[in-house]
Structure 1
Amino acid sequence: MDNLPERQNPHAHLRASDTDRDQVVDVLRDALMAGRLTQDEHAERLEQTLQARTLGELEPITQDLAVPGQPFQPVAAASNSPVPIEEPANPSDSFEAMVAVFGGGERKGRWRVKRRINAICVFGGHDLDMTDAVFEGREVTIWAFAMFGGIDITVPDSVEVRNEGVGIFGGFGARGGESPDPNAPVVIVKGIALFGGVGGQVSSRRHKKRFRDQGGQGHGQLH
C-alpha cells in the first residue's frame, strides 16, 4: 500500500473497537464500488483493517479516500461510564510507581490513573485524588505499602472499591460509594499498612464547596 500522509489525532493511541473497524470496511467497500480502489488495493487495505489494534493504525487506511470537507474520523467505542476511561494502546505499559521516603507525593486534577500503581511510603505519605482523573482501564490495582506513613485515596462515588489489604499495628480499609455504577472502573487496593495507614475520604466531602456550587453529585470514598 502507498505511504499515506499522517494526520495529527490526539486519540491515535486508543484501542480500536469492532465498530471502528466496521466503519473502515464500509468506506473501503464504497471506494471499491466507485472505482477509487482496485481489487488488489481493496484486499490489501481490508487485511490491514482487520489487523489494526489502534485508531492511529486505522486512520491512514482511508485517509486518501475521504470526501473533501468530510474526512473520515474513527470513533472510539461508546462508553456508558460516568468516569472517563481511555484504554492505552499497550495495557502492559500502564504502570506507575510512587515512592515517598521522609517526604510526600501528590496526584490530583486531570491525571491518568494507570492500571497498576505501586505506592510506597516510609515516614512519608501519598495523596491520590481521582476526582477528576482519567482511568486507563476498567480495573485498577493499587499496591500500597505504608510504614510509619499514610496513603490517602479519593475516588468518585460511582467507582467500586475492593479492599484486599492488611493492617499490622496500623489501619487498612477500603470502602466505595453506596451505589457504584456497573459501567465505572473498579479500584482494587492491596498491600500492607505497618505502623501506618491506608485510607481516604469521599470526594464530595473533600471538595464539598465545589460540589455544592456545581450542584454535582457526590463522589465515593475510601476509608
Structure 2
Amino acid sequence: MSERELLASDGERDRAAERVREAAAEGRIRLPDVDGRLSQVYEARTRGDLELATRDLPEPRVVDERPTSRAAVAIFGGYDRGGHWVVPAKFTAWSMFGGGGIDLTEAQLTSRETAITVVALWGGADIVVPDDVEVEVKGFGIFGGFGKSGRNRGRPGAPRIVIRGFAMFGGVGTRKKPRKDRKGLTQD
C-alpha cells in the first residue's frame, strides 16, 4: 500500500484545513472557493485525497525564532515594540506614569491567537494591528478609556488578536493599519 492510499487521520484533516484557511488569509484562494476546499478536506478518506485538496498551496510556515520579548514595562518612561519582532502567544504591557506603543504590522505571530494584556495606570498605550487580522478588545477604563470594545473581523482564517486589560487615569487605544510584511502571518 502506498503512502497516498493510507487513511487520513483527524489531525491530518485539521492541518490541511488550516493550510486552506491560511491560504485564504493570504489571498491565495478566493473566498467563494474556501467552503468547497474545506468540504473536500473534511470529506477526504485518504492522504491522497488530502493532497489533492492542498496540492497547489504552499507548505505551512512555522516560526523558528523565539519571541523577542514577552513583556513591556514603563515606569515614568516609555516602551516601544515595533518593526520586525516575534510576538509570543501571550504578551503583557504595563505602564505607570508613562506609556508605550505596540506595532504588530511587521511582527511575526507565533500563534493563531495572540493575547495581549495591557495595564495602564496614569499612562497609556497605543496598539497598532494589521488590517487583515481579527481583533477583539475586552478592556475597560476607570477615569480613562480602553480602545474600541468588541470584535473587529479580519479575513477568513486570519490570526486573532485579543486585547484585554484596563486603564486608570489613562487610556489604551487600538487601531488598524495595512500590514507592512504579509509574511508575518504564521501558524502553530
Category of TM-score, reference length = shorter chain: 0.5 to 0.7
Q: Given the alignment, which residue of 114, 126, 132 partners 1:152?
A: 126
CA contact (8 A) 1:95 1:116 kept: no
Partner of 1:188: 162
CA contact (8 A) 2:104 2:129 kept: yes
Alignment pair present for 1:110 and 2:80: no
Cα gap change, 1:176/1:111 in structure 2, threshold over 3 Å: closer, same or farther? farther
Q: Normalising by the residue count of structure 1, what TM-score does the alignment of the two structures yield? A: 0.50
Displacement of 1:116? 0.3
Cα gap change, 1:85/1:119 in structure 2, threshold over 3 Å: closer, same or farther? farther
Stretches of 4+ moved more than 6 A in 1?
A: 175-178
CA distances 1:56-85 after superposition (whole Å, capped 9, x unpaired):
xxxxxxxxxxxxxxxxxxxxx843233997
Cα distance between partner residues in 2 of 1:85 and 1:163: 27
Percent identity reads 39
Alignment pair present for 1:124 and 2:124: no
SS in 2 for 1:202: strand
5+ residue gaps, structure 1: 1-24, 27-76, 218-223
5+ residue gaps, structure 2: 4-17, 28-59, 183-188
Cα distance between partner residues in 2 of 1:176 and 1:131: 21
Displacement of 1:167? 0.6
Q: More strand by proportion, 1 or 2?
A: 2
Partner of 2:116: 142
SS in 2 for 1:201: strand
Alignment pair present for 1:96 and 2:40: no
Higher RCO structure, 1 or 2 (CA under 8 Å, sep 6+): 2
Count of residues in correspondence between the two structures: 132
Letter in 2 for 1:144: V
Alignment pair present for 1:161 and 2:135: yes
Computed over aligned residues only, the root mean square deviation of the Cα atoms, in angstroms, reads: 3.6
Q: Given the alignment, which residue of 53, 65, 82 partners 2:26?
A: 82
CA distances 1:88-118 after superposition (whole Å, capped 9, x unpaired):
699xx89701111011111111111211011
